């Protein structure tokens, strides 16, 4: 019983330290490997660190098939309103290009398109400051697609 208790406390302590470190020193993390529920907690927390869950891409790789998707899920509360941030989905495509197809240059092109679009001041409503102009889901995607076409 004591081994069980100390193992559980130790595990909780490591999780707590990981969560704190993710906020205080996010650049120290490239990959976090954890069980599903704690991973959900950390991914939501990471969305706060970067400014929005809409920016986060996700990859589940290691088996015979990779799964690439935005961290934020389907967001049914805003479905059909053209206000969703497409960047997590677009950056998931960059992950797929890099990890499944080994198309590093193409992945870098997609990532550069996202950076260029953000540097150009384009923001969906989850990223915009009060009073700042926002663009629709389609406009954000079109800006990135145009960058990729030109490169």
User: Can you tell me the distance from the alpha carbon of 32 to that of 58, in angstroms, rounded to the nearest whole number?
Assistant: 11
pTM: 0.81
Q: Does residue 4 surpass a pLDDT of 60?
A: no
Q: Does residue 2 surpass a pLDDT of 60?
A: no
53-62 confidence digits (pLDDT tens): 889 998 888 8
The enclosing H or E element of 59 equals strand 57-60
Residue with tokens 């805003």, as numbered in its chain: 78
24-57 confidence digits (pLDDT tens): 998 888 877 777 788 888 888 888 888 898 899 9
């Amino acid at each position: 019983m004591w081994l069980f208790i100390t193992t559980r406390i130790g595990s909780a302590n490591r999780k707590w330290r990981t969560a704190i470190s993710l906020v205080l020193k996010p650049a120290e993390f490239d990959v976090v490997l954890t069980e599903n529920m704690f991973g959900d907690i950390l991914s939501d927390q990471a969305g706060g660190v970067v400014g929005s869950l809409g920016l986060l891409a996700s990859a589940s790789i290691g088996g015979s098939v990779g799964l690439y998707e935005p961290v934020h899920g389907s967001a049914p509360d805003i479905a059909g309103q053209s206000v969703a941030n497409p960047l997590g989905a677009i950056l998931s495509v960059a992950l797929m290009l890099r990890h499944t197809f080994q198309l590093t240059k193409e992945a870098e092109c997609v990532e550069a398109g996202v950076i260029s679009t953000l540097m150009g001041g384009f923001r969906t409503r989850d990223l915009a400051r009060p009073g700042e102009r926002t663009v629709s889901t389609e406009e954000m995607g079109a800006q990135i697609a145009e960058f990729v076409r030109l490169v």
